Amino acid sequence: MDRNQQLFERAQACIPGGVNSPVRAFRAVGGTPRFVQRAQGAYFWDANGTRYIDYIGSWGPMILGHGHPAVVEAVQKALVDGFSFGAPTEREVELAEAVMAHLPSVEQIRLVSSGTEAGMSCIRLARGFTGRSLFIKFEGHYHGHADALLVKAGSGLATFGHPTSAGVPAEVAQHTLVLPFNDIEALELAFQKHGAELAAVMIEPIAGNMNFVRTTVPFMKRLRELCTQHGALLILDEVMTGFRVALGGAQSVYAKAIPGFAPDLTVMGKVIGGGMPLAAFGGRRDIMGKLAPLGGVYQAGTLSGNPVATACGLATLREIEKPGFFDALAARTRSLVDGLKAVAQDKGIAFSGDSEGGMFGFFLMPTLPQNYSTVMTTDGPAFNRFFHGMLDRGVYFAPALYEAGFVSAAHTQADIDTTLAAAREAF
């Protein structure tokens, strides 16, 4: 008896689509979602007791793997003191200081509970600071499900083929200007036409919701120049990449290639909460000073800075700060991607892949795409067959070809070897 199927049938009776976040439904790949019973290290076990090597890691936060002893201990101690207070704690100050120590562009920070909340708050703050309404996002970039941001987004929306979401009023979406990704000419034209009206540009430095697609260095450099020239704020969405691709986030990677590079605001999530519901946004002090209670831009949250979540996040940051952590993680991730490339090549299958730190992506096409329209030409049915071939062999990749993957410190070389052996058979 398939317990996953039983649970999915029960779930569909009481939860829309049987899931609480769309991509979990397996609609893109077909079949029955795996209902997770427990997880440890690099693995999780489904309702049937089947073990899988986990390459989504709760979509990024589990950089240490599941159930890391130091994190579990920190959470247990925090629980004893109380679940939630609705009042300030020393621990939220410690977490803010820890984040700021590694992100020089963040001079002040506000903790919230989700990436969506952080993203929409950044847009409101940018508008309040500049006194302008218009902002730019890029095709295939996903910044949460706030109304103004659900315009040509990636992730679940790409999976279901919708360029936007029902329920988003046209008068809200009209303030969102969507540009093709990595297209400098289109970027320059947009600033030429709308520069005086632009409050901000929001971008994923490495897009993770149309799989793994980097912002090119020339594009990022020109974007920074244009924002500065026209008085628009540059917002980096590092919900996925923050503390995942490097200790200083993706912005530290681009700062090595672009002297003096820094965003005005940064959106953070996932790793900074260690798997608990926690996110943040931060940036220049003069901008953050516009937030209530200091300024007129209102933002609040009962569970913001939750004491259990901040304990989890702090313990996670303390572990990834250790010398050599990211070198080892990056090497392990590269070994997976390089191994998949080699196996695919051996089997005569078009394949390209890329990684940074503990984040990776692959495409069943000969070269890496640089924009959303190219990503959308990926062979979906072939990916679905590969996904199920790997799932049948105990390897869990993201159940949609538009999602990036994640390696944790708990993944061993044996796990990588097992994955590559499974891929050889699946290919």
Q: In terms of domains, do 133 and 246 share one?
A: yes
The total number of structural domains in the chain stands at: 2
19: phi then psi, degrees, rounded to nearest 5: -140, 160
Q: In what order do the strands lie in the sheet with 359-363?
A: 352-356, 359-363, 405-406
Q: In terms of domains, do 181 and 98 share one?
A: yes
Assessment of whether the complete model's pTM goes beyond 0.85:
yes
Tell me the two tokens of residue 24: 């979990």
- Active-site residue numbers? 142, 237, 270
Q: In terms of domains, do 135 and 154 share one?
A: yes
Full residue range of the structural domain in which residue 138 is found: 69-320
Q: In terms of domains, do 238 and 221 share one?
A: yes
One digit per residue, pLDDT tens: the chain, 427 residues?
A: 899 999 999 999 999 999 999 889 999 899 999 999 999 999 999 999 999 999 999 999 999 999 999 999 999 999 999 999 999 999 999 999 999 999 999 999 999 999 999 999 999 999 999 999 999 999 989 898 887 777 765 444 443 434 466 777 777 777 889 999 999 999 999 999 999 999 999 999 999 999 999 999 999 999 999 999 999 999 999 999 999 999 999 999 999 999 999 999 999 999 999 999 999 999 999 999 999 999 999 999 999 999 999 999 999 999 999 999 999 999 999 999 999 999 999 999 999 999 999 999 999 999 999 999 899 888 889 999 999 999 999 999 999 988 999 999 999 999 999 999 999 999 9
Q: In terms of domains, do 301 and 335 share one?
A: no
Single-letter amino acid, residue 186: A
127: phi then psi, degrees, rounded to nearest 5: -65, -40
